Amino acid sequence: MQDIKVEVRRYIEDNFIMGASGVTLADGDSFLEHQVLDSTGFLELIGHLEEAYRIKVLDDEMVPENLDSLQNVAAFVVRKRAA
Amino acid sequence: MLLHHAFEQTARRVPDKLALVAGAQRLTYSELHHQVRALAHVLREDGVLPGDRVMLVLENTPEFAAAVHAVLAAGAVAVPISPQTKKDKLAFIASDTRATAMLTHAQLAANWAPALQGAPALRSCRVAGRLTGADARERPWPGADARAPEFEAARIDQDLAALIYTSGTTGVPKGAMLTHLNMVSAWASVQAYLGLREDDVIGLALPPVFSYGLYNLLMGLGLGATVMLERTAAFPIRLAEALARERVTVLPGVPTLFSALLDLPNFSRFDLGALRLLTNAAAALPESHVQRIRAAWPLARLYSMYGLTECKRASYLPPEELDRRPGSVGRGIPNQEHWLVNEQGQRLPHGSAGELVVRGSHVMRGYWERPEETHERLRPGPIAGENVLYTGDLFRSDADGFLYFVARKDDIIKTRGEKVAPREVENAIYQLDGVTGCAVVGVPDESLGQAVKAYVTLRPGSGLSERDIIKHCLTRLESHMAPKAVAVVDELPRTESGKIRHASLR
> B463 vs B191, which has greater pLDDT?
B191
Task: Quote the pTM value.
Answer: 0.90
pLDDT at B66 (0 to 100) = 98
In the predicted structure, residue B108 carries a pLDDT above the cut 70: yes
Whole-angstrom distance, CA of residue B282 vs CA of residue B203: 17
What is the DSSP pairing of strand B331-332 with strand B315-317?
antiparallel
pLDDT at B333 (0 to 100) = 98
State the pLDDT confidence band at A21, using cuts at 50, 70 and 90: low
Count how many residues are written for chain A: 83
State the pLDDT confidence band at A74, using cuts at 50, 70 and 90: very high
Name the percent of chain B lying above pLDDT 90.
Answer: 72
What is the DSSP pairing of strand B18-22 with strand B25-28?
antiparallel
Q: How far is A43 from chain B (nearest CA, A)?
A: 9
Contact assignment for A20 to B475 by CB distance below 8 Å: yes
Contact assignment for A63 to B475 by CB distance below 8 Å: no
- Strand intervals (E) in B59-191: 77-81, 101-105, 124-128, 138-140, 160-166, 174-179
Nearest to A35 among B83, B264, B265 (CB): B83
Q: How many structural domains is chain A composed of?
A: 1
> B418 vs B231, which has greater pLDDT?
B231
Out of B52-61, B133-142, B456-465, pick the least confident. Answer: B456-465
pLDDT at B474 (0 to 100) = 83
B356-387 residues labelled b (16+ CB within 10 A) or e (exposed): bbbbbbbbbbbbbebeebbeebbeebeeeeeb
Work out whether the CA dihedral B250, B256, B258, B264 comes out positive or negative. Answer: negative
**B283 contacts B417 by C-beta, under 8 angstroms:** yes
Mean pLDDT in residue range B140-161: 89
Nearest 5°: CA angle at B166, between B504 and B370? Answer: 100
pLDDT at B497 (0 to 100) = 67
Count how many residues are written for chain B: 506
| Mutation site, B61, B239, B465, B475, interface A, largest A CB count within 10 A | B475
Q: How far is B237 from chain A (nearest CA, A)?
A: 7
pLDDT at B146 (0 to 100) = 83
Q: Select the highest-mean-pLDDT range: B64-73, B399-408, B444-453.
A: B64-73
Contact assignment for A62 to B86 by CB distance below 8 Å: no
pLDDT in tens, B152-177: 778 999 999 999 999 877 788 999 99
Average pLDDT of chain A is 86
| Chain A interface, Cβ < 8 Å to B | 14-18, 20-24, 29, 32-35, 37-42, 59-60, 62-64, 67
Q: How far is A79 from chain B (nearest CA, A)?
A: 20
Contact assignment for A35 to B84 by CB distance below 8 Å: yes
pLDDT at A22 (0 to 100) = 61
| Mutation site, B107, B230, B258, B473, interface A, largest A CB count within 10 A | B107
pLDDT in tens, B17-68: 999 999 999 999 999 999 999 999 999 999 999 999 999 999 999 999 999 9
**Phi and psi dihedrals of A59, rounded to 5?**
-55, -40
| Mutation site, A31, A35, A76, interface B, largest B CB count within 10 A | A35
Out of A24-38, B35-49, B172-186, B375-389, pick the least confident. Answer: A24-38
Could you tell me which of B406, B436, B410, B405 has the C-alpha nearest to residue B423? B410
The domain that contains A28 carries what CATH number?
1.10.1200.10
Output the CA torsion A42→A43→A46→A50 (10° steps): -170
SS3 B413: strand
Which string of DSSP letters, residue by residue, matches B57-80?
E--SSHHHHHHHHHHHHTT-EEEE
State the pLDDT confidence band at A20, using cuts at 50, 70 and 90: very low
State the pLDDT confidence band at B272, using cuts at 50, 70 and 90: very high
In the predicted structure, residue A42 carries a pLDDT above the cut 80: yes
Mean pLDDT in residue range B346-357: 96
In the predicted structure, residue A19 carries a pLDDT above the cut 50: no
In the predicted structure, residue B506 carries a pLDDT above the cut 70: yes
Which structural domains are found in chain B, ordered by start?
28-179 (3.40.50.980), 413-505 (3.30.300.30)
Whole-angstrom distance, CA of residue B116 vs CA of residue B143: 23
In the predicted structure, residue B70 carries a pLDDT above the cut 60: yes
State the pLDDT confidence band at B378, using cuts at 50, 70 and 90: very high
pLDDT at B156 (0 to 100) = 96
Whole-angstrom distance, CA of residue B396 vs CA of residue B403: 6
State the pLDDT confidence band at A25, using cuts at 50, 70 and 90: confident
Q: Select the highest-mean-pLDDT range: A79-83, B261-265, B338-342.
A: B338-342
- The range of the structural domain enclosing residue A39 comes to 2-82
> B93 vs B460, which has greater pLDDT?
B93
Q: Is the ipTM of this complex over 0.90?
A: no
Out of A65-74, B7-16, B235-244, B466-475, pick the least confident. Answer: B466-475
> A24 vs B125, which has greater pLDDT?
B125
Average pLDDT of chain B is 93
